[in-house]
Amino acid sequence: MRLTPEQRAQFERDGYLFFPGHFSPEETKVLIDAVPDLYSRREAFNVREKGSDAVRTNFAAHLISEPFARLARHPRMVGPVSELFEEQVYMHQFKINGKMAFEGDVWQWHQDYGTWLNDDLMPTERAMNVAIFLDDVNEHNGPLMFIPGSHVKGVVEAKHDLTTTSYPLWTVDNDLIRQLVDRAGGKGHYDAAGRHVGGGIVSPKGPAGSMILFHSCLVHASGSNLSPFNRVAVYLSLCAVGNHIRRFKRPEYIAHRDFTPIEMLPDDCLLAPYPVEVPWKNGLPESALATSLEEIDTMAA
């Protein structure tokens, strides 16, 4: 898969690209069918919602589950990111966010690179998120919200929110969010047909199998899911190999330490049994829980 010049220009301008129905229903079913087993496990890699047993985030599924190990090497996902960076990439983080019906909590306004810089000492923003919908995403079940163009501000000031949800996050101040939204178009307007036009917040919605590429400095959030519809999505954070993290403050199951370039599988890898390694399928090793505040020796890495 190659990006067109128009897509590259849109990414530079808006900070994201949306590909509705990028993976087929058959491919998506292989992935969503593997989620219940992952979510059922009582391991550190499953972070549950505050005051609920519902899974908020599952980490490192590509090291535990064969379908997700194949997704981590899929050319329709890895290829465009490597193309934009003009460099090979490694897997910095792999999450399956739950946002379960009636119980999925908010994700506050934030930049992903803010966390990667503050916690992991990632040198620059040469890393990107790829979101893949495993359920249909609509206006009711907590879709992602982006502020288009907010990535051009670079890293903005953030505070470490340890209390709002069960997962700590470096969040952006409300006053700055207002400024960014106003600059991107404010609240927009309704045309004569009653359609909302413009505005400084967008929410890509579409069928299961849709994919979003978005810049690591793009400010984004999502509301709670009060609907009866699950909104499970995979978030793969790909980083340019030369931009790998310099500190292991967070455990390895959250921020990965294998900086080997991803070797892509053939395009049919979700439907064919290509062999893949899943080294953590029987549980996390002790090394996956170890942390350190020391800056790593980049020569050794």
pLDDT, block means (10 residues), the chain with 301 residues:
92 96 98 96 91 91 98 97 96 95 90 93 96 97 95 86 79 92 90 85 97 96 95 97 97 97 98 97 94 84 63
Cα–Cα distance between 15 and 217 in angstroms, integer?
8
Question: Per DSSP, what are the bridge partners of residue 247?
Answer: 295
> Is residue 28 within 8 Å of 134, Cβ to Cβ?
yes
Of all helices (H) and strands (E), which one includes residue 119? helix 112-120
> 246: closest CA among 157, 72, 118, 95?
118
φ and ψ of 208, to 5 deg: -50, 140
Cα–Cα distance between 240 and 90 in angstroms, integer?
6
Query: What pLDDT is stored for residue 299 in this prediction?
Result: 64
- DSSP string spanning 23-84? S-HHHHHHHHTTHHHHHH--STTEEEPTTSSSEEEEE-GGGT-HHHHHHTT-HHHHHHHHHH
- How many Cβ atoms sit within 10 Å of the Cβ of residue 64? 25
Query: What pLDDT is stored for residue 163 in this prediction?
Result: 77
Cα–Cα distance between 130 and 180 in angstroms, integer?
23
- DSSP string spanning 179-239? HHHHHHTTT-EE-TTS-EE--S-B---B-TT-EEEEETT--EEE--B-SSS---EEEEEEE
HSE-up (13 A, CA, CB side) for residue 60: 27
Coil, strand, or helix at residue 111? coil
Query: What pLDDT is stored for residue 264 in this prediction?
Result: 98
Position 272, amino acid: A
Domains of the chain are: 5-289 (2.60.120.620)
